[in-house]
């Protein structure tokens, strides 16, 4: 990708070898460790408006998931690993351990939230607390899929179609595809909600066919292996052992897809709190002050 603006001045850049491939992360701030994970179709830079508000209280680690941003985009296996949330979660545990953090807090938006709750389920004891932004579980998304949700989350089925169909269509005009998804998720229905420097990062990733394919593999994993993992845990009655904060945008997908986020999360988390933030889907970029305030109140050391 071309040279892009540094949205984390003073932060250290790290590339860490993990079982999910080489992971890129920025590290800065002071205090107990807090891992921030992004969603689709973004990268670690989505936290650039929130991180300065959290950094006085936490050591911030903001990482790119496999196939996103500056992280490696390995060839997918038959089960779509390393783009399964189980494989991504294992990679994040290895990343944090390499940085010297055995236990940590985690806030994840969108796909990053899915990695977060999978990490909590697969690696009990690793997370002090978990915050998930504008999602319900993959289990609940697929089991609640109806006409209402389908009109808001059509990309779930489109991106999960077999290769190379979605990759080919996106590749004809990747910038337009990104901007259409961004506008749909934003409360203002305008990609101008993003800092132009962050938008340049996102557009650059969408110009890379390898990363477009990786993002599709992420959604293929969600339709298959991730769903199987969630269904197995649901059948077994497995729940998240740490406190959970669920935040969602007032015009985000859970609130406007016919879902009840708190009711659904109560099936997965025994220690749960949550509320809506005045925002669309992109809470950290549309309303960073309210998002940071909510995270600080929850994660307070």
pLDDT at 2 over 80: no
DSSP line for 47-90? GTTTHHHHTTTSEEEEEPPTTSTTS--PPP-TT-TTSSHHHHHH
pLDDT at 214 over 60: yes
User: Does residue 114 sit in helix, strand or coil?
Assistant: helix
Encode burial over 63-90: b for 16+ CB neighbours within 10 A, e otherwise.
bbbbbbbbbbbbebeebbbbbbbbbbbb
pLDDT at 247 over 90: yes
Give 3-state DSSP helix, strand, coil % of the chain, rounded to 5.
45, 20, 35
Residue 258 has what pLDDT?
86
For the segment 58-71, what is each residue's pLDDT rounded down to a tens digit? Answer: 999 999 999 999 99
**Under 8 Å between Cβ of 156 and 220:** no
* pTM assigned to the model: 0.98
Asked if the peptide bond before residue 41 counts as cis, ω within 30 degrees of 0, the response is yes
Nearest to residue 81, comparing CAs of 232, 220, 233, 234? 220
Residue 1 has what pLDDT?
53
Q: Is 154 exposed, middle or buried (0-12, 13-18, 19+ CB in 10 A)?
A: exposed
User: Does residue 243 sit in helix, strand or coil?
Assistant: coil
Residue 120 has what pLDDT?
98
Helix axes 111-122, 85-98, angle to 10 degrees: 80
Residues that are catalytic: 110, 281
What integer is the mean pLDDT of 233-254? Answer: 97
CA dist., res. 230 & res. 222, Å (int): 10
Residue with tokens 């998804």: 181
Confidence category of residue 162, pLDDT binned at 50, 70, 90: very high
């Amino acid at each position: 990708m071309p040279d892009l603006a540094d949205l984390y001045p003073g932060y250290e850049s790290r590339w860490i070898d993990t079982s999910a491939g080489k992971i890129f992360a920025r590290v800065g701030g002071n205090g107990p460790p807090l891992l921030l994970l992004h969603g689709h179709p973004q990268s670690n830079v989505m936290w650039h408006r929130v991180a300065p508000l959290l950094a006085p209280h936490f050591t911030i680690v903001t990482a790119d998931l496999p196939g996103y941003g500056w992280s490696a985009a390995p060839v997918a296996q038959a089960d779509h690993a390393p783009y399964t949330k189980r494989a991504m979660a294992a990679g994040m545990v290895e990343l944090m351990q390499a940085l010297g953090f055995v236990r940590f807090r985690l806030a994840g938006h969108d796909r990053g939230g899915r990695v977060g709750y999978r990490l909590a389920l697969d690696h009990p004891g690793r997370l002090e607390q978990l915050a998930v932004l504008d999602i319900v579980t993959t289990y609940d998304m697929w089991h609640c899929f109806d006409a209402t949700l389908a009109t808001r989350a059509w990309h779930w089925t489109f991106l999960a179609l077999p290769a190379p169909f979605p990759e080919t269509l996106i590749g004809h005009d990747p910038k337009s595809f990104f901007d259409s998804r961004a506008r749909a998720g934003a409360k203002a229905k305008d990609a101008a909600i993003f800092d132009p420097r962050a938008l340049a990062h996102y557009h650059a990733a969408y110009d890379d066919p390898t990363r477009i394919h990786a993002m599709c593999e992420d959604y293929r994993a969600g339709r298959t292996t991730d769903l199987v993992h969630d269904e197995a845990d649901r059948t077994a009655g497995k729940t998240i052992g740490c406190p959970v904060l669920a935040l969602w945008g007032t015009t985000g997908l859970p609130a406007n897809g016919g879902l009840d986020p708190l009711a659904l999360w109560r099936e997965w988390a025994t220690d749960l709190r949550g509320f809506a933030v005045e925002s669309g889907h992109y809470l950290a970029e549309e309303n960073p002050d309210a998002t940071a305030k909510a995270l600080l109140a929850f994660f307070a050391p």
